[in-house]
Amino acid sequence: MPETTRPDATRAQAACSDGSPAKSIESCREDFPILQREIRDGVPLIFLDNAASTQRPTAVIDAITECYSNFYANVHRGIHTLSEESTRRYEQARQSVARFVNAKSDHEVIFTAGTTAAINTVARSWGDTHVGQGDVILLTIAEHHANIVPWHQLAERAGCRVEFIPLREDFTIDDAAVQEHLERLRPKMFAFTAASNVIGTEFPVERWTAMARASGSAVLVDAAQVAPHRSIDVQQWDADFIAFSGHKMCGPTGIGVLHGKEQMLEAIPPFLGGGAMIARVTTSGFEPAGLPEKFEAGTPPIAEAIGLEAAIHYLDSIGMDRIVAHEHELCRRADEGLRALDGVRVIGPTSDKKQGIVSFVVDGVHAHDVAQQLDTHGIAVRAGHHCTMPLHKALGVTATSRASFYLYNNLDEADRLISAVSEVRQKFAPSGRRRRR
């Protein structure tokens, strides 16, 4: 079975889980109020900064408003009606997330503040108990800082070292390189991104997880750039830990997910201590609660969880297979169009090896200037190192401009991006002034 298909493929088909017909992807744009906005006195907004954070449909905004308007109270601790209602809806959101990623149990779904918080939790809870002097944490060079810095911090505490698998010329990493690193370094943990937030390369999670497992390594998958775009099946992936963020998949900010295998989560201590995560506290110590509360100290993101559930239902109503196919089409159009421009270099593999991200450099023009000029056309892209300084160093560039697509973008927007970049190139770097690299 291909990695992108879950055993229960209902949500990938042209119908929602409740049996109603799937929503057309072309019509979904109308569901996002912000996309009707014009900027700069009348320029229509073309939002291509989705890898950083996506926009929200009315269904998500309404779910959050409904929570605060009708049934909000703190969860778990109250006996009163609102608290019971809030608790039921919060736990229902957890079940929806568990179904969305095909988790074995909703106890394996820990709500966190986002991918960063989820990875930090693992680096603390698992890392501090399993990693010691001289051990190795293996990453790829394509990681976001969220999947680098917590391991550097662990290295400072535990005396382990962090090693990186390099990219090939074609911006991919082959299995042989992964195998060689696993055999030579015998890491305690192999933590890698399922897809790069800069070059867009998708990595074979299931295969690499099996290879790591065979070499005795634990596995963490940073799914921040995959969960929003295609169907994932955590049982099929079989990683020990998987992290993703709500705000990159039409959900609210301040919520993300740490999925962990139940026996793994049971075996490691909680990272944050406080209310809600305990079974008992005495003057001499405490006993942690069971899963998932053990890892959810303090008041959790209640309205955010309910908003995330609405986002998941929304994505379901479109169908993840249609979303990924649509994004591939947009990515191909933008990728090919930008590659065809003189003085523009796409930094990343061809569109068949990546998802909806096109990062590029306009020779002789700083990425910030590119982004600023594109903004005058109403086009929002991100410019800089995108929290991947080691990757940019390996690629030999200090900054890139990044266009990233989502379900509500269309081919016309991809074409407008290409012609706007062409204009920037003409304006800033006429051929006589072209800088050699």
Shortest CB 137 distance to ligand PLP, Å: 16
Residue 147 or 410 with smaller CB distance to ligand PLP: 147
User: Of the candidates 193, 209, 401, 404, which one interacts with ligand PLP according to CB under 6 A?
Assistant: 193
**Residue 249 sits in the site that holds ligand PLP (CB under 6 A):** no
Shortest CB 412 distance to ligand PLP, Å: 26
Shortest CB 143 distance to ligand PLP, Å: 7
| Helix intervals (H) in 319-434 | 320-339, 367-376, 389-395, 411-428
**Of residues 210, 122, 123, the one with CA closest to residue 160:** 123
Q: Is 99 left (phi over 0), alpha (psi -120 to 50) or beta?
A: alpha
Sign of CA dihedral 35, 41, 46, 52: negative
The stretch near ligand PLP (CB under 6 A) out of 142-150, 213-221, 311-319, 326-334 is: 142-150
Shortest CB 395 distance to ligand PLP, Å: 16
Residue 251 or 378 with smaller CB distance to ligand PLP: 251
Element (H or E) spanning 177, and its range?
Answer: helix 175-185
**Of residues 231, 214, 421, 234, the one with CA closest to residue 338:** 421
Shortest CB 194 distance to ligand PLP, Å: 8
**Residue 115 sits in the site that holds ligand PLP (CB under 6 A):** yes
Residue 191 or 289 with smaller CB distance to ligand PLP: 191
User: Of the candidates 114, 228, 319, 378, which one interacts with ligand PLP according to CB under 6 A?
Assistant: 114
Q: Which residues 207-246 are close enough to bind ligand PLP by CB under 6 A?
A: 222, 224-225, 245
Go through 380-414 and write b for each residue having 16 or more CB atoms within 10 A of its CB, e for each that does not: bbbbbbbbbebbbeebebebbbbbbbbbbbbeebb
Sign of CA dihedral 392, 396, 399, 404: negative
Residue 135 near residue 158, CB atoms below 8 Å: yes
The stretch near ligand PLP (CB under 6 A) out of 17-25, 144-152, 340-348, 395-403 is: 144-152
* Size, binding site for ligand PLP by CB under 6 A: 15
- Rg (the chain; Cα; Å): 22
Residue 146 or 414 with smaller CB distance to ligand PLP: 146
User: Of the candidates 116, 120, 373, 401, which one interacts with ligand PLP according to CB under 6 A?
Assistant: 116
Q: How many CB atoms lie within 10 A of CB 180?
A: 12
Element (H or E) spanning 46, and its range?
Answer: strand 46-47
- State the Cα–Cα distance between residues 191 and 182, nearest whole angstrom: 12
Shortest CB 256 distance to ligand PLP, Å: 6
Residue 255 near residue 308, CB atoms below 8 Å: yes
DSSP-derived secondary structure letter, 67: I
Q: Which residues 26-65 are close enough to bind ligand PLP by CB under 6 A?
A: 51-52
Residue 72 or 111 with smaller CB distance to ligand PLP: 111
Element (H or E) spanning 402, and its range?
Answer: strand 400-404
Residue 124 or 144 with smaller CB distance to ligand PLP: 144
Q: Which residues are catalytic?
A: 387
| Helix intervals (H) in 15-108 | 58-66, 81-100
User: Of the candidates 120, 121, 140, 197, which one interacts with ligand PLP according to CB under 6 A?
Assistant: 197
Binding site for ligand PLP (CB under 6 A): 51-52, 114-116, 144, 146-147, 193, 197, 222, 224-225, 245, 256
